[in-house]
Structure 1
Amino acid sequence: MRENPFRQDNEEIRELVKQFQNLKAGRGNSFLEEEAFEKIIDYFDDVEDLPQALEAAEMGIEQYPYSSALLIKKADLLIATRHYNDALEILDHAELLDSNDINLYILKTDVYLALDQQEKAVELLENALQLFDGQERIELLFELADVYDDYEEFDKIFDCLKLILEQEPNNEEALYKICFWTDFTGRNEESITLHNQIIEENPYSELAWFNLAAAFQGLKLYEKAIDAYKYAVAIDEKFDYAYRNMGDAFIRLRKYRDAIEVLEKVLELSRPEDVIYEAIGHCYDRMKNFAQARFYYRKASHLNQGDSKLYYKIACTYINEEQWSMAVKQLESAMQIHRLQPEYNLAMGECKMQLGDYKEAIQYFSNVVRQRPRNISSWEALIRCLYQGEFYEEALEQAKAAIKITESKPIFIYYLSAIYLALGKTKEALLQLEAALTASPRLLKKLIHLNPAVLRHQLVIEVIAHHKKNK
């Protein structure tokens, strides 16, 4: 029976370390080959005993002064201990002995980056690309891409990855990375061309199909994206990210049933995530199946209890069903996390108003107005609440303030007219109505929605009729 090779390796390295210690102590006639020194250095490096690794490198170089491999290992150790200039000096010496070792260029790049000399790192690697081919050239291109990332030359990262894939279309690392950088740089058209070429040669590359789909999605060509994702999952039926992105594409196309189907597939293939449950809830919400929407929003909130937005979304499903008290409970949970979030205060104000708690509703709507003083819907909600609660004097003050802040938006002139009518100031009401009709006749519906009874006021009918006739 064949002996365990790992055991043999361990025994070999123990013997080499023993010989090294004897050599250090000057015992016996110990002699070590160049390769043995390399193994000893690697051993001490692996066990993080850098002083002994450096000592082994120095002894090895003393014995083999023309060994570029030992010089490079010493430089690597000096970089690890942040002696960058010393490392650079040794690497220059190693280059004179053997300029064809790729590790020279990778370690020099590390030194230049550590010394914040990105331009030198770029120049070094660009020149080195002319010296190497095959896997070594690919390794240098990855190194150059990392330098460009550090240097924030993001388009050049894409260029490096593109060169790698043109040389090796099935390189998984490049395929994974270029998907991100395509989206980041917006170079979707180039990505489509590149991945179509890859697919022609490698039609069963699920990553190439995925990247093609993602590029189509980046251009909002959702139908084409879905078709490409379908090829990806046909090749790899457990490709959960393809199902995930396909779900997003279906949502963009408002094909909510299809989106639910593929998002449920994601849940089968990977651990539960709040964003997936939330997306399924969103689909049911759009389909007006509010009970199912709540079910999935709740699942999402159990996984992410600190996300106030999920409680707000549950509240909105209750609001759509006019279950105001149930909505209030969810909004209270949301507002324990983000008390002054305008959307939450606006929704809470609406619920309180529908429940007849006008004073509380006014407080919530006032919070929104303070947060968003130029927002029309905030003022509209506050004034509507004051009017419905019959706080006409306060409604009048707020309507005037809204007109001033929003530069005389016609909706508030209509509201001013309704408030004057409620206060029995008919003349002022009719003057404001005429001004509002002149500014925006289509917003008359806002006045009617605020109080349909105004259409039973004879003078109001006459002003509207007169305006239509003149128009």
Structure 2
Amino acid sequence: MNQDFPFLNDDPEELKELLQQFENLKSGQSHSFLDEDSFELIIDYYDEHDELPNAMQAAEMAIEQFPYSSTLLLKKANLLIESKKYQEAMALLEKASILDSTDINLYILQTDVYLAMNMHEKAAAILEEQINAFEGQDKTELLLELADVYDDCEEFEKVFDCLKLTLEYDPNNEEALHKICFWTEFTGRNEESIRLHTNIINEHPYNHLAWFNLGTAYQGLKLYEKAIDAYNYALVIDEKFEYAYRNIGDAYIRLRKYSEAIEILKKHLEIAKPEDVIYEAIGHCYERQRKYTQARYYYRKASHLSPSDDKLYYKIGVAYMTESNWENAIKSIMSAIKINKNCAEYLIALGQCYLELDKNKEGLIHLLAAVRLRPTSVNTWQEFIRGLYISGYYDEAIIQLDAAFEKLGHKPALSYYRAAVMFAQGKTKEGILQLENSLQHSPKHVKKLIELDPTLLQHPAVLELIARYKRTTRKKGKEKE
């Protein structure tokens, strides 16, 4: 309210006096005169303080005194809309339109009524008919209102079209610039956004939001270098434009330029409030650089800001696992599981840690729990059976392989695992037949066998069979050429 009537910031006593005069008028204690502007102030005060009955009473008394005031009729109509009395509101709006058809609030309120009544097409039609009748800020406001109506109608392409039209008319409108950034990504109309914002920049080269939107459009097309250039121009204009730092960081990560990403994200931390996502992104960059101590440091900083984010504790645990620090990895992964008990990925990691510590029973318990959580996942079965193999439970591994095949059907990795288990059981002939069958169906998955147990390559028959299929595959490849 004080933005509409700034003088009230300087003299709050004036409003106090007006409200007292109104109370006196209501009770019949005073015959003092309140002018139209005073009634408007009183109505707005009660409306903004959610005192709807007082606001409505003030509006009715004002209209009784000033029956030909379109502004007062619009204010009462707005109160009726808030009270969900849509038919009464529309009748007042029609009366107001006869008195003054040049007030854009008339059309915005009509739009509000139609939207409230789920008559979206009529709401859009009202604005579409009136836009060309207005100029300047009024035209811009109606265009933005129309964009919101299209959003309510779920006509998302029209939202983009409307915002584009708004910016062609009013290139520096911040609301439109902010909104079109989202809708460009949502609709995927990056090429149009590039043309639009390039035109804006040609006319208004110091429009930092236009440079930023140009960057996001390039980023949407995976043109990361061009995106970074655009964001940097935005930062030249506004060096504290924090979203530009974030997006540059993301672009560098996509380009796998982790040092550059770390540098720009740390600059973001200097100018903006610390955020968990920024710390997490820096941690990710350090992890990619194999600097696990620094990675954990930033993951921890992220977890301090977001202590209920289980993924952060898991990432700390994975960083420990990469350094074979199994005990600390277990502590971190357990913290993740306390927050989210139903994540098979966490249970698998925990099981792997226990297996590495030769605590096979604990490891298998967690791997089995992962299978129960995700019984249709090949990876969970693969890890569980790998655990049984490592632990020497070959008979149980065969039983679980049968269960997995029954649940999932034929899966190449598990077929190779069956061959490995047969070799471990001393069933060499069956193992060779199983391996040959696996090679016939999916030769490229033989790496699963080698990953499970590299020592199998020391078996002459296994080595000869794999070599033969590799020769056959190469020969077929040359024949196709």
TM-score of the superposition, structure 2-length normalised? 0.88
Determine which of 59, 75, 80 is the counterpart of 1:57: 59
Q: Deviations over 1:287-324 (max 9, x none)?
A: 11111111111111111111111111111111111112
> SS of the counterpart of 1:294?
helix
After the TM superposition, which of the residue ranges 411-420 and 148-157 deviates more from structure 2? 411-420
Determine which of 253, 256, 274 is the counterpart of 2:255: 253
Deviation at 1:35, TM superposition (A): 4.4
- Written as runs of structure 1 = structure 2, the 5 A alignment for 1:9-408 is 31=33, 33-42=35-44, 44-45=46-47, 49-408=51-410
The whole-number CA distance in structure 2 between the counterparts of 1:28 and 1:421 is 104
Identity across aligned pairs (percent)? 57
The whole-number CA distance in structure 2 between the counterparts of 1:339 and 1:464 is 41
Deviation at 1:110, TM superposition (A): 1.9
Deviation at 1:148, TM superposition (A): 1.9
Change (3 A) 1:157 1:323: same
One-letter amino acid of the counterpart of residue 94, structure 1: A
Deviation at 1:210, TM superposition (A): 0.5
After the TM superposition, which of the residue ranges 309-318 and 108-117 deviates more from structure 2? 108-117
The whole-number CA distance in structure 2 between the counterparts of 1:248 and 1:128 is 42
One-letter amino acid of the counterpart of residue 230, structure 1: N
After the TM superposition, which of the residue ranges 202-211 and 137-146 deviates more from structure 2? 137-146
The whole-number CA distance in structure 2 between the counterparts of 1:453 and 1:28 is 102
Deviation at 1:344, TM superposition (A): 0.9
Instruction: Return 5+ residue gaps in structure 1 as ranges.
Output: none
Deviation at 1:103, TM superposition (A): 1.8
Q: Deviations over 1:55-83 (max 9, x none)?
A: 44334433443332332233233333333
The whole-number CA distance in structure 2 between the counterparts of 1:465 and 1:38 is 90
Deviation at 1:102, TM superposition (A): 1.7
Aligned partners of 1:340 and 1:367 also within 8 Å: no
The whole-number CA distance in structure 2 between the counterparts of 1:186 and 1:86 is 42
Q: Deviations over 1:29-71 (max 9, x none)?
A: 7555544544554455456554444444334433443332332
Q: How many residues are treated as equivalent by the alignment?
A: 468
The whole-number CA distance in structure 1 between the counterparts of 2:447 and 2:51 is 81
After the TM superposition, which of the residue ranges 120-129 and 71-80 deviates more from structure 2? 71-80
**Larger Rg belongs to:** 1
The whole-number CA distance in structure 2 between the counterparts of 1:116 and 1:466 is 70
After the TM superposition, which of the residue ranges 436-445 and 329-338 deviates more from structure 2? 436-445
Aligned partners of 2:218 and 2:226 also within 8 Å: yes
Q: Deviations over 1:356-382 (max 9, x none)?
A: 112222222222333333433333322
Q: Deviations over 1:161-202 (max 9, x none)?
A: 222211111111111111112112222111111111110011
The whole-number CA distance in structure 1 between the counterparts of 2:21 and 2:447 is 96
Change (3 A) 1:268 1:31: closer
RMSD over aligned Cα, in angstroms? 2.8
> SS of the counterpart of 1:165?
helix
Aligned partners of 1:206 and 1:236 also within 8 Å: yes
